[in-house]
């Protein structure tokens, strides 16, 4: 068959892969059903297998079609890629690669580019071609014209296996979509859906970067779930893990007997804490592999955003290492220059190729310019998780109210650096696992105070500058920590306190989305004015949010168990202000005793830096939002 022994693959096809510029590598490597000229004027259909293993002596493909005994692949000249075409094979074929290493030993490996895999604990790769026809054109067109920073974003983070145990992608396309739409979130964020062998890793130990986990169905079933979310007006963010990969002997590690995807030197190539390998970001083929993977999820699955996991571990060569356990960069510093270049590359490429996509960094240090554009010297992310805000505010709500006055700055300090990055405020799965306790169990004292404090806290969070993210179960006050092996305790949402919190979340989302003052200028100092940042004695914070179009929402939160009556505040304009949220309302299982009868009137007496003054009632452990409605 001449060159068709490689299934139509040529050395020229692989040039981009080797220079780091192939951003659609899944089209070339892996397994593909192809139809080729058969040399006798006809055509032959079968599967082309191709795998990068430059230091192998020989490579075989083994599978259910050859009783797992092996068909030899040939080395595409000058490419380090081995390929073959086997006529008569098609979709559903199970296969692996058997690789003979330089020392003559043999290893069996799954395909790094597999687009479907056997369900764990089995791990064979599966030949798969998508036939999915999308119905989300309206969503994709609107996304391309969107401006994420000036739009509402409230994200529901979830682990698919633990949301409702035993549900498939197709089940979730009904149940999850209707629930998220009812709750009013703008986006879901899936914990990693790439194939992973160890379920308690929650997907953060990836063995199949191009393979959606088969635990919940086929890849086209996942496409259907995402399509249905889009048709319901809900964006889809997915966790992406380019920081490290597990050492399972059948996966990426020491793929051809040498350190291929990872650094050879353990000081650069291993995370001792996690027992994982670190990608070699300076290697062109690894860059092609990873940037292709990011684009793959966006192009092939219409993912709207990637939340990049553990960015800090990528940025610093000495991350979680003692002296002598790391290798400085060429300038003697601790920054991983290859990883920084790679992140700039992947962010630039995705924003160019996929209009409206959102790249989010989970970055826990003060590395400068995470969300600054690459051309301005930044990393080029769209958003960064605000870990400082999260740590400070959780420390605050865990204090007994009598001590909160002494730690008031925990809630005000975040405004000092608010405009240094484009922030997203996360109450994520990380905060409700590993002995940290659920959100409801972090708050001291009895159930009335626990739930009142949570309602006030989430109101404070939803009105603070920045987008929001909350982990599943927090919205109804689940008491146990997250456990991936069982479902959320949905039944408690019928109970007092839990149901009220769940109804509050719905109203927070709907009210937030209906009021541009709460989101339009998240990243602009003109979108926020303190009313009173310094009322530590009463555990109270007050501010106004603005949208630049004359709309204002005043937000006052009282973290003390004493009600505030006749509490004087300044406001940006006199006239009627409507009470659009009160976390003490009976519908949220509050007392209903402390409110403003739906509205207050501000008169034109100056107050501090404001032209108008009003007196309001703020409930104990409660929050109110007031929206300017009419002039006097």
β-strand 305-308 against 235-240: which pairing, if any?
parallel
Annotate 28-45 with b (16+ C-beta within 10 A) or e (fewer). Answer: bbbbbbeebeeeeeeebe
Taking CA atoms, 112 is separated from 62, 116, 117, 345, in Å, by: 15, 11, 11, 21
β-strand 245-246 against 187-190: which pairing, if any?
unpaired
DSSP 68-117: TS-EE-EEPTTTSEEEEEEET--TT-EEEEEEE-TTS-EEEE--TT-SSB
Q: Strand, coil or helix: what is 555?
A: strand
Question: CA 81, 86, 89, 93 torsion: positive or negative?
Answer: negative
Query: Of these residues, 362, 507, 522, 535, which one is catalytic?
Result: 362
**Angle at CA 15, nearest 5°, toward 11 and 17?**
115
Annotate 614-624 with b (16+ C-beta within 10 A) or e (fewer). Answer: bebbbbbbbbb
Give catalytic status of residue 584 as yes or no.
Answer: no
Rounded to whole angstroms, the Cα distance separating 280 from 258 reads 13
Taking CA atoms, 139 is separated from 134, 235, 356, 461, 566, in Å, by: 11, 9, 11, 28, 47
Q: Strand, coil or helix: what is 244?
A: coil
Taking CA atoms, 353 is separated from 13, 56, 133, 331, in Å, by: 20, 35, 21, 33
DSSP symbol at 21: -
Helices first, then strands: H and E counts in the chain: 15, 30
Phi, psi of 446 (to 5 degrees): -80, 175
Give catalytic status of residue 227 as yes or no.
Answer: no
Tally Cβ neighbours within 10 Å of residue 408.
20
As a 3-state breakdown, the chain gives helix, strand, coil percent values, each rounded to 5, of 30, 25, 40
Q: Give residue for tokens 């009142």.
A: 452
Report how far Cα 61 is from the mean position of its chain's Cα atoms. 35
Taking CA atoms, 100 is separated from 71, 72, 103, 107, 124, in Å, by: 13, 11, 8, 7, 18
Tokens of 518: 């709460």
Report how far Cα 19 is from the mean position of its chain's Cα atoms. 29
β-strand 540-546 against 552-558: which pairing, if any?
antiparallel
Query: Of these residues, 195, 309, 535, 584, which one is catalytic?
Result: 309
The residues annotated as belonging to the active site are 309, 362
């Amino acid at each position: 068959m001449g060159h068709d022994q490689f299934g139509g693959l040529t050395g020229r096809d692989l040039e981009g892969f080797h220079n780091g510029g192939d951003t659609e590598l899944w089209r070339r490597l892996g397994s593909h059903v192809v139809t080729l000229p058969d040399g006798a004027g006809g055509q032959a259909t079968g599967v082309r297998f191709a795998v990068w293993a430059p230091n192998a002596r020989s490579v075989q493909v083994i599978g259910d079609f050859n009783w797992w005994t092996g068909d030899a692949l040939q080395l595409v000249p000058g490419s380090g890629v081995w390929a073959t075409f086997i006529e008569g094979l098609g979709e559903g074929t199970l296969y692996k690669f058997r690789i003979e290493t330089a020392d003559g030993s043999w290893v069996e490996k799954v395909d790094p580019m597999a687009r479907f895999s056997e369900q764990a604990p089995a791990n064979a790769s599966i030949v798969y071609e998508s036939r999915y026809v999308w119905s989300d054109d309206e969503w994709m067109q609107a996304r391309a014209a969107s401006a994420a920073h000036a739009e509402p974003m409230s994200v529901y983070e979830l682990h698919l296996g633990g949301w409702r145990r035993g549900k498939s992608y197709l089940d979730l396309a009904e149940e999850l979509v209707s629930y998220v739409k009812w709750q009013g979130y703008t986006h879901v964020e899936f914990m990693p859906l790439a194939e992973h062998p160890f379920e308690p890793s929650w997907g953060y130990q990836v063995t199949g970067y191009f393979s959606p986990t088969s635990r919940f169905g086929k890849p086209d079933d996942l496409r259907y779930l995402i399509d249905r979310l889009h048709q319901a007006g809900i964006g889809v963010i997915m966790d992406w893990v380019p920081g490290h990969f597990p050492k399972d002997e059948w996966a990426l590690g020491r793929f051809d007997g040498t350190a291929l995807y990872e650094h050879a030197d353990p000081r650069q190539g291993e995370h001792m804490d996690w027992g994982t390998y670190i990608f070699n970001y300076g290697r062109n083929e690894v860059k092609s592999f990873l940037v292709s993977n990011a684009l793959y999820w966006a192009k092939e699955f219409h993912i709207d955003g990637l939340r990049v996991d553990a960015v800090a571990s990528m940025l610093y060569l000495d991350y979680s290492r003692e002296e002598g356990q790391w290798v400085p960069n060429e300038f003697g510093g601790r920054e991983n220059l290859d990883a920084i270049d790679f992140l700039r590359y992947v962010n630039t490429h995705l924003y160019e190729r996929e209009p409206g996509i959102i790249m989010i960094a989970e970055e826990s240090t003060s590395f400068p310019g995470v969300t600054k554009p690459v051309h301005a010297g930044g990393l080029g992310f769209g958003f960064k998780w605000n870990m400082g805000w999260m740590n400070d505010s959780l420390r605050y709500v865990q204090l007994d109210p009598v001590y909160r006055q002494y730690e008031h700055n925990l809630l005000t300090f975040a405004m000092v650096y608010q405009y240094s990055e484009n922030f997203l405020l996360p109450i994520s799965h990380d905060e409700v696992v590993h002995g940290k306790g659920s959100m409801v169990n972090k708050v001291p004292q009895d159930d009335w105070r626990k739930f009142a404090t949570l309602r006030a806290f989430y109101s404070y969070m939803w009105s603070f500058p920045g987008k929001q993210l909350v982990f599943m179960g927090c919205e109804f006050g689940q008491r146990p920590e997250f456990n991936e092996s069982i479902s959320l305790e949905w039944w408690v949402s019928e109970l007092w306190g839990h149901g009220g919190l769940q109804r509050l979340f719905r109203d927070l989302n709907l009210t937030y989305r209906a009021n541009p003052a709460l989101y339009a200028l998240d990243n602009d100092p003109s979108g926020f004015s303190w009313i009173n940042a310094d009322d530590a004695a009463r555990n109270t914070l007050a501010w106004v949010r603005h949208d630049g179009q004359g709309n204002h929402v005043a937000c006052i939160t009282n973290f003390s168990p004493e009600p505030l009556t006749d509490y004087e505040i300044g406001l940006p304009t006199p006239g009627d202000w409507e009470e659009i949220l009160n976390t003490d309302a009976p519908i949220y299982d509050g007392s209903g005793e402390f409110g403003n009868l739906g509205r207050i009137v501000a008169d034109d007496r100056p107050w501090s830096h404001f032209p108008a003054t009003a007196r309001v009632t703020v409930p104990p452990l409660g929050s109110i939002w007031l929206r300017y409605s009419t002039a006097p």
